[in-house]
Amino acid sequence: MRFDIITIFPEIITTYINESILKRARQKKIIQINVHNPRVNTQDKHRTVDDRPYGGGPGMILKFLPIYKTLQKIRKSKQTRIIMLTPGGKQYTQRDAERLSKYKQLILLAGRYEGFDARLDKFVDEKISVGPYVLSGGELPALILVESIARLKPGVLGDRASIIDETYSKDLNYVEYPQYTRPETVVIKGQKLSVPKILLSGNHQDIKNWRQKKAKKR
């Protein structure tokens, strides 16, 4: 699967994707992540990607043409999904991650300043928000999509079972049961914090039942 991220701050993306799971998934060629700076597609000597809003008002707007031209260059097929990251978009969920993981190519538009020239709306398939708050840029939202989608692809996680019982894996209200690891007991300021006995019992059916009981509906 291929991700193409359009951003005027490519290094925010490259720093993150060169670590941990995304780095390994790229090395294994399960995913490919390309980063494109729309500045390359400007003609003026200052390589301008933003300008003041028509009608006045604070801040700057990302210009139409540099982004449009970048989109035209990187779109590989009609099956490509083009997504604009914007706080006003549809709120992203695990179901969207599952749905989007079926595409061969996702193009993610990460904005800055006051956002995009609205004429770009015509050329995107959907608008996604990562939550009801405003960030300064779309790079973190783009990385949220990439990571949540990539980890669903076979071979990306060491143990595929990891995603089966996870929070949100069954429905959007499901919260995974509590997990513990060694040591069995820790003492903090005289208080003993112990692992539930049942998890040490070796009885797989009892452990399964306990976990089902402890998994919460929010």
Longest dimension (CA), the chain: 71
134/193 with CB nearer ligand SAM: 134
38 binds ligand SAM (CB under 6 A): no
Residues in contact with ligand SAM, shown as a per-residue x/- string from 146 to 165 under the rule CB under 6 A:
--------------------
126 binds ligand SAM (CB under 6 A): no
Specify which residues 107 forms β-bridges with: 4, 82
What's the order of all strands across the beta sheet hosting 81-91? 32-36, 2-6, 105-109, 81-91, 126-129
Residue 216's φ and ψ, nearest 5 degrees, are -105, 155
37 binds ligand SAM (CB under 6 A): no
130 binds ligand SAM (CB under 6 A): yes
Q: ∠ CA(113), CA(116), CA(122), 5° rounding? A: 170
Q: Which two tokens stand for residue 122?
A: 């015509």
User: What is the residue whose two structure tokens read 């031209």?
Assistant: 69
111 binds ligand SAM (CB under 6 A): yes
33/85 with CB nearer ligand SAM: 85
Q: How far is CA 150 from CA 30, 104, 107, 127, in A?
A: 8, 12, 14, 19
Residue 66's φ and ψ, nearest 5 degrees, are -60, -35
Residues in contact with ligand SAM, shown as a per-residue x/- string from 80 to 99 under the rule CB under 6 A:
-----xxxx-----------
108 binds ligand SAM (CB under 6 A): no
Identify whether the C-beta of residue 7 lies closer than 8 Å to the C-beta of residue 110.
Answer: yes
Find the part of the chain contacting ligand SAM (CB under 6 A) among 3-11, 40-48, 129-137, 157-165: 129-137
Among 1, 7, 108, 115, binds ligand SAM (CB under 6 A): 115
Backbone conformation region of residue 135, classed left if phi is above 0, alpha if psi is from -120 to 50, else beta: beta
88/183 with CB nearer ligand SAM: 88
Taking the complex as a whole, how short is the minimal distance between the CB of residue 108 and ligand SAM, in angstroms?
A: 9
134 binds ligand SAM (CB under 6 A): yes
38/141 with CB nearer ligand SAM: 141
Q: What residues line the site for ligand SAM (CB under 6 A)? A: 85-88, 110-112, 114-115, 129-131, 133-138, 141
